[in-house]
Amino acid sequence: MKNHFRFWLLLLCYNIILCAHWVWGKQHDKEKLALLKPSILDHQQFNGNNIACWMANDGMIVSHRATGGCGMEWPSGSGQTTDFSSGFWIIGKTLSGDVVSACSEYASEFSPGRLLANGTTDDPNDPRLRIYILNSDGTGDWQDWPFDLGAPALKAKDGGDSLDTSGNKIPRLYGNQTLWWVMNDADVAQHANIFATKPMGLEIHVLAFGFDKLGPLADMLFYEWTIHNKSQTVYDSTYIGLWDDPDLGDAGNDYAACDPARNMGFVYNPSYDAMYFVRPPAFGFQLLLGPNIGSVDIPQRLGMTAFSYFWSGVPDPRGDPEDAEQALNFLKGRLSDGTPHRDLDGNVTVFPLNGDPVTGEGDVLDKDYDSDYRFIVSSGPFALKPGDIQTIRAAKIVAQGENNLESITLLKKHADLAQNFHDQFFGLAELIKPLVLLNFKDAAPGVYISWNDLTQNYPQNGLELLGYTLYQVVGETLVELASFDAKDGITEIKEMIDGREVLLYSGEENGLATSARVTVDRSSGEPLKYGYTYTYFLRAFIHNTTATGSDRVISNDMEPVDYTYLPEGYQGAFYAEHTEQHGDGEVLVIITDPKRMNNHDYKIFFEGSIGDLRMKLVDMTTNHIVYHDTLGTIEFDSLGFRLEVRNLLGIKEWSYEGIRWVTGYNWGGAAFFGGLDLGHSFFGSTVPYEELVPIRIDFQDIQSLTADGYWTKGAVYRRDLGYGFAGIGDLPMAAFDVSDSLNPRKLNICFVEDERIAPATRVWNMGWNGAEYPDDMGAREYLFFMNSDYSEGAGYNAVNNGTSADILYFLWPAQRGTHPYLEAEFTIDIIPSLGLSDKDVFKFSAGLLNIKTPEITHPESCALVRSYPNPFNSQTTIQYELKQSSHVSIEIYNLWGQRIERLVDEQMEIGTHEITWNAQSAATGVYFIRFVIGGVKSQVIKALLIK
């Protein structure tokens, strides 16, 4: 593991206060950049699979502007987020050496519309220059698809446009949902938003699309940028960059990394995240198709040629780039000043953080260095000449395992899948071996295992789908669970190989299906058990009708999938119920081994004083004391869970009313932008935690000061004199204990001055000289809000030092924006969080998530349960239950009463069964599914086929 001490020690030289400032810098920077945008923007959301992502027609492929926070949500509808903002960078050099850019990130250098032949552009305010959407269900902009703006049309096999029956072009739908727009960088004013270079004269067509399919594809979002150089300028040494500011759950606990072999940058979390609990996903941005440095006929594509990561607010050369030169250095895999990265052996590398976070080997961030990172996946250099067209493709991928490290492992597997799928989908790789995706869903009891429908890919080019076989992997053995054979008249395929006849394939013509239910572990013969991991493999068989010998039957590679059997909605952690609440705190129960959960009920009690508590965990089922010791994180390996007991001492919330001219300077405090915390958290306090009270602070304006004078007198201490007592001074504010809101108690306030920063006048004014402040740190005129009744500061002196006495709250104030001193009256309310006490009790059950083995029960009735989906497009799955072994017949009838297909006609055993009706050859309309048991009992349900 690489140790980044040199870097961090360097940063410490800037002082500890600056470190805290970095965290808050991001928010302020983004709020500022969000204002820099074209006069008209169209924001649309991709929501075609498990990802929901806002985009804008100025090039922001993840836009925070639409939400005011993260622009990408996963899973869609959950409120959990993965990505704050993302964009596309192009930076190059002219032949004269000028560095120019066309970039989008928090803001954009692009405008909506085309770059026209006469050098002008479309009017960016034209409402036609919006984002267009196509959906596979026929909704969206099918009738308004802007072919004239360059939107893609469906192509025929000869390369020409496909036409409908009226001779019109057909919009090109990619996946289940496609978004498209066109933009250019010709507006000089737009370039002031980021790097302020001259425009490059580029027109870019942007595609975003996704697939609502089973398995990992539903957690991917694909992008395509088609770059047209419509200028007369040759851009030498051009680079493209996939820029991303991921916020994987909580914004400040991400780790950055890269995988050069997969052309991917990614982020991951520690073992716990407040948003994703103990199952934080990993999030990657993968370059699938890089710039072409070959010819049109013989392309030669670059992959990821460098990776860079940086922060907001940190000093150069690791902060956000301030100009195009710095940005270009990042694209080259250097620091912003051009300094190279070095690997563990001291060698120059363009791929920092390319180690393995799962094993900890190689160059990875140390455990304590989680932060709010941005990263760039870049590719170049390449020449971009007048008239050149470059196509770039990429994918955002989310992968969630049972823990943070398993999520990384899955992310890399899914990245391999994304590249494979991309190459086949766009015809860059010959479709020979089938691509199989498995999906698992708790069936309670058992699991539904489903897979992608390969009838959408075959037949083609002499390849035909024969069938599927599902296996459980037991040791080194494949145990067959189910087989599904196409009704194609082929039951066996044999070939002579090495002088003997070999059976390559056999089937029973029982029909194809895309799912199966598994209830039994074939290694033990027992029902599947929650918490245990099972391994499955689906083999798809393809008939290569043009081949002979062993090549006549093709199947996918042996890639077993491990599946941990867990209940639907399992999150891996939950909060214990706070049954007797007197203070503030929480207990998080993290499940470390579900199979050890014993379904017992537990209670947690506390002993001692606030701030010095011990906890007692009692198994109420056995009346046994399991633990009796200090608070914190406690492992109970034998019970299958871990407890994280959080004593929430501090500030619960703060609010204000009025025009606030004061903000908090971020020293690392818990509230008010990092400027406010308990007195205990700064220099210390003598106030017991249980005596914390809510307070209100009233600030004066110039009018009230003129009319009333200063509202408070308080003790003054000089920072430049070792915090020595300097007498009594004046403050334009008053503080009150509002525990009894009808009878507020006025409090004493002490403050600090420093003659080295501003004149020490014994007036709290943050160094204001009537026109400006001396710095952005409020001249370090700290405020201490005391617990004593107001006495004009009497009682505070050199002995009873107000900077460490009975302090309720400490505030490091500073100027808010450009607001002047005494601009207006306003109030701040502070409510404390009192922490846990011996009166608090929590309870939880180890069976809260029903972590127990479900019993396999016989159906209560013989019933045709349902068909799903319904309505359907090409196939529907029919599910039915039997309470006893019976002969079953399932037949399909049309509206005229004609039987068009018999799906089942055989003896079936007790249990729940499924069969898939492949209706590709049937016409759109209503169909009836007839279910007959033993030749007597009959049930009919209706299904709607829509094509």
Mean pLDDT, range 838-850, rounded to an integer: 81
pLDDT class of 689 with cuts at 50, 70, 90: confident
What integer pLDDT is reported at residue 773 of this predicted model? Answer: 96
Mean pLDDT is lowest, of 96-105, 293-302, 898-907, for: 898-907
The answer to whether residues 802 and 750 touch, using CB atoms and an 8 Å cutoff, is yes
pLDDT at 161 over 90: no
Mean pLDDT is lowest, of 338-347, 452-461, 821-830, for: 452-461
pLDDT class of 856 with cuts at 50, 70, 90: very low
Mean pLDDT is lowest, of 25-29, 495-499, 684-688, for: 25-29
Q: Which two tokens stand for residue 538?
A: 């689906």
> In terms of Cα–Cα distance, which of 855, 280, 279 is closest to 591?
279
Would you tell me how many other CB atoms lie within 10 Å of the CB of residue 388? 17
> In terms of Cα–Cα distance, which of 630, 576, 581 is closest to 603?
576
Mean pLDDT, range 924-944, rounded to an integer: 72
pLDDT class of 895 with cuts at 50, 70, 90: low
Instruction: For residue range 693-707, list pLDDT tens digits in order.
Output: 999 999 999 999 999
What integer pLDDT is reported at residue 711 of this predicted model? Answer: 98
What integer pLDDT is reported at residue 10 of this predicted model? Answer: 35
pLDDT at 641 over 80: yes
Instruction: For residue range 703-723, list pLDDT tens digits in order.
Output: 999 999 999 999 999 999 999
What integer pLDDT is reported at residue 606 of this predicted model? Answer: 96
What integer pLDDT is reported at residue 936 of this predicted model? Answer: 54
Strand pairing of 202-210 and 177-184?
antiparallel
Mean pLDDT, range 441-452, rounded to an integer: 90
Mean pLDDT, range 78-101, rounded to an integer: 95
**Residues in contact with 800: Cβ distance below 8 Å, sequence separation at least 6, in sequence order:** none
C-alpha count within 13 angstroms, C-beta hemisphere, residue 498: 3
Helix (H) or strand (E) holding 418: helix 404-425
Instruction: For residue range 77-89, list pLDDT tens digits in order.
Output: 888 999 999 999 9
Residue 317: cis peptide before it, omega within 30 degrees of 0:
yes
pLDDT at 11 over 90: no
pLDDT class of 447 with cuts at 50, 70, 90: very high
CA angle 852, 854, 859 (to 5 degrees): 165
What integer pLDDT is reported at residue 874 of this predicted model? Answer: 79
Q: Which two tokens stand for residue 163?
A: 């036409």
Instruction: For residue range 283-313, list pLDDT tens digits in order.
Output: 999 999 999 999 988 999 999 999 999 986 5
What integer pLDDT is reported at residue 741 of this predicted model? Answer: 84
What integer pLDDT is reported at residue 437 of this predicted model? Answer: 84
**Cα separation, 277 vs 124, whole angstroms:** 44
User: Could you give the C-alpha distances from 455 to 175, 359, 426, 489, 657, in angstroms and in order?
Assistant: 16, 40, 18, 16, 63
Instruction: For residue range 516-550, list pLDDT tens digits in order.
Output: 999 999 999 999 998 899 999 999 999 999 999 99
What integer pLDDT is reported at residue 4 of this predicted model? Answer: 40
pTM: 0.74
The percent of residues above 90 in pLDDT, for the chain, comes to 64
What integer pLDDT is reported at residue 863 of this predicted model? Answer: 56
pLDDT class of 857 with cuts at 50, 70, 90: very low
Question: Considering all CA atoms of the chain, what is the largest pairwise distance in Å, rounded to the nearest integer?
Answer: 111
pLDDT at 15 over 70: no
What integer pLDDT is reported at residue 215 of this predicted model? Answer: 77
What integer pLDDT is reported at residue 855 of this predicted model? Answer: 45
pLDDT class of 934 with cuts at 50, 70, 90: low
Instruction: For residue range 143-154, list pLDDT tens digits in order.
Output: 999 999 999 999
Mean pLDDT, range 33-60, rounded to an integer: 80
Would you tell me how many other CB atoms lie within 10 Å of the CB of residue 895? 9
Instruction: For residue range 495-518, list pLDDT tens digits in order.
Output: 999 999 999 999 999 999 999 999
**Cα separation, 821 vs 662, whole angstroms:** 8
Structural Rg of the chain based on CA atoms: 33
Q: How high does pLDDT run on average in the chain?
A: 88
What integer pLDDT is reported at residue 40 of this predicted model? Answer: 66
What integer pLDDT is reported at residue 61 of this predicted model? Answer: 98
The top-scoring range by mean pLDDT among 220-234, 823-837, 921-935 is 220-234
Would you tell me how many other CB atoms lie within 10 Å of the CB of residue 35? 9
Instruction: For residue range 163-179, list pLDDT tens digits in order.
Output: 888 889 999 999 999 99
Mean pLDDT, range 221-242, rounded to an integer: 97
What integer pLDDT is reported at residue 320 of this predicted model? Answer: 86
Strand pairing of 255-259 and 447-451?
unpaired
Instruction: For residue range 343-379, list pLDDT tens digits in order.
Output: 888 999 999 999 999 999 999 999 888 888 999 999 9
pLDDT at 884 over 50: yes
What integer pLDDT is reported at residue 24 of this predicted model? Answer: 29
**Cα separation, 246 vs 256, whole angstroms:** 9
> In terms of Cα–Cα distance, which of 108, 853, 188 is closest to 530?
853
User: Residue 60 phi/psi, 5° resolution?
Assistant: -80, 110
> In terms of Cα–Cα distance, which of 487, 450, 481 is closest to 467?
487
pLDDT at 651 over 70: yes
> In terms of Cα–Cα distance, which of 287, 209, 197, 182 is closest to 242?
287
What integer pLDDT is reported at residue 431 of this predicted model? Answer: 59
